């Protein structure tokens, strides 16, 4: 019976929150500073794992920002 | 079939046919949502949570030991009922809501319950205890106590006979 968190109903948020692996999210690559005009560039598709069309990825990104801010404020306190 | 027994009353569940007591489309959740995408819904909730009156109420609720997960679920469910977003969008944004609530709780210095841990973890289930007790009672009923006592006495006598070695204590 996995209804903890709520008083009586099943809460899908708990499983979702635990499943969000935001520590291992693919990071955006910094563009290389070296190279001239003729150097081959990654045109936006820096990482194939970063699927912006996936709503879960966008939620995870937002969550990552809030988590960072939360950790920062906890460290300051 | 065994019925699941709960200690809570079942009177607040909808009666059969209750969903048909209003015109189709009359309820807010039956019309197109105000925020159809995850991004729009997140933006709405994050701006709403940044309002001072919301924060004050949220901190009060967290101080009452209401778990963060239950609170986030209630918030998104009320959004669905108001027709702000659909159920799937509400469920998708729940982790963000939980994270935001935790952040607000941390910044207010409230010791809150996340609701992520199972409070019954490590505890022996009541059902298991009653099962064992029932099995034990059944075993006791099957055993003839007089016979067992008699057997035990006989065994005791036999042991007394054989325990007469060199080192045996003399009577």
Domain annotation covers residue B10: no
Domain final residue pick, B108, B135, B150: B108
Please report the pLDDT score of residue A5 as a whole number.
46
Residue B9 maps to a domain: no
| B59 and B87 assigned to the same domain | yes
Q: Per the domain annotation, does B61 fall within a domain?
A: yes
Record the pTM.
0.67
Q: Does B155 map to a domain?
A: yes
Query: Which residue range is the domain that position B48 belongs to?
Result: 27-108
In this structure, are B145 and B102 located in the same domain?
A: no
Does B115 contact A4 at a Cβ distance shorter than 8 Å?
yes
Q: Is B19 part of any domain?
A: no
Residues in chain A, pLDDT under 50: 1-6
Residue B116 placed within a domain: no
Tell whether B35 and B100 lie within a shared domain. Answer: yes
CA atoms within 13 A on the CB side of B42: 22
Q: How far is A19 from chain B (nearest CA, A)?
A: 9
List phi, psi (to 5°) of B167: -90, 5
Q: pLDDT tens, B121-133?
A: 777 888 888 999 9
B95 in reach of chain A (CB within 8 A): yes
Q: What percent of chain B has pLDDT over 90?
A: 51
Within-domain flag for B5: no
The reply to whether B95 and B141 lie within a common domain is: no
Q: Return mean pLDDT, chain B.
A: 86
pLDDT score of A54: 87
Q: Is the pLDDT of residue B115 over 60?
A: yes
**B69, B102, B107 ranked by CB distance to A6: nearest:** B69
Q: Which pLDDT does position B171 carry in this prediction? A: 59
Q: What is the pLDDT of residue A21?
A: 83
Same domain, B78 and B130: no
Q: What's the gap in Å between the CA of A36 and the closest CA on chain B? A: 38
Q: Is pLDDT larger for residue B8 or for residue B48? A: B48
CB contact under 8 A, A58 and B70: no
**What is the mean predicted confidence (pLDDT) over B150-155?**
86
Task: State mean pLDDT over B98-110.
Answer: 93
How close A16 gets to chain B, by Cα (Å)?
6
- One-letter-per-residue 3-state SS of chain B: CCCCCCCCCCCCCCCCCHHHCCCCCCCHHHCCCCCCCHHHHHHHHHHHHCCHHHHHHHHHHHHCCCCHHHHHHHHHHHHHHCCCCCHHHHHHCHHHHHHHHHHHHHHHCCCCCCCCCCCCCCCCCHHHHHHHHHHHHHHHHHCCHHHHHHHHHHHHHHHHHHCCCCCCCCC
Same structural domain, B44 and B77: yes
Q: Would you call A73 and B103 a contact, using CB atoms and an 8 Å cutoff?
A: yes
B101 domain-assigned: yes
Same domain, B77 and B35: yes
ipTM: 0.71
Average pLDDT value for residue range B35-39: 95
Q: Do B39 and A8 touch (CB under 8 A)?
A: no
Task: Decide if pLDDT at B47 tops 70.
Answer: yes
Contact B67, A3 (CB under 8 A): no
Q: In this structure, are B42 and B73 located in the same domain?
A: yes
Residue B83 binned pLDDT confidence (cut-offs 50, 70, 90): very high
For A37-57, how does the pLDDT look when each residue is reduced to its tens digit (9 = 90+)? 777 766 555 566 677 788 988
Is A73–B107 a contact, with Cβ atoms under 8 angstroms apart?
yes
Whole-angstrom CA distances from B6 to A10, B10, B103, B166 are 14, 9, 35, 65
Instruction: State the smallest CA–CA distance between residue B48 and chain A in angstroms.
Output: 15
Across the interface, whether the CB atoms of B96 and A59 are under 8 A apart is answered yes
């Amino acid at each position: 019976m996995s209804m903890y968190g709520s008083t009586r109903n099943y809460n899908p948020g708990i499983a979702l929150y635990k499943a969000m692996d935001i520590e291992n999210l693919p990071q955006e690559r910094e563009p290389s500073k070296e190279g001239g005009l003729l150097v081959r560039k990654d045109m936006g598709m820096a990482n194939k794992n970063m699927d912006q069309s996936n709503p879960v990825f966008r939620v995870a990104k937002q969550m990552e920002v809030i988590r960072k801010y939360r950790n920062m404020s906890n460290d300051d306190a | 079939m065994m019925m699941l027994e709960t200690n809570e009353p079942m009177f607040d569940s909808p009666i059969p046919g209750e969903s048909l007591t209003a015109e189709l489309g009359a309820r807010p959740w039956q019309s197109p949502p105000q925020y159809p995408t995850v991004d729009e819904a997140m933006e709405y909730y994050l701006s709403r949570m940044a309002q001072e009156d919301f924060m004050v109420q949220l901190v009060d609720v967290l101080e009452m030991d209401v778990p963060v997960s239950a609170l986030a679920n209630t918030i998104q469910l009320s959004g669905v009922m108001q027709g702000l977003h659909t159920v799937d969008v509400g469920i998708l944004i729940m982790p963000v809501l939980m994270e935001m609530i935790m952040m607000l709780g941390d910044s207010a210095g409230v010791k809150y319950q996340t609701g992520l841990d199972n409070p019954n973890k490590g505890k022996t289930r009541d059902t298991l205890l009653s099962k064992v007790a029932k099995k034990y009672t059944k075993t006791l009923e099957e055993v003839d106590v007089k016979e067992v006592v008699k057997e035990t006495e006989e065994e005791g006598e036999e042991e007394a006979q054989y325990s007469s070695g060199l080192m045996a204590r003399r009577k």
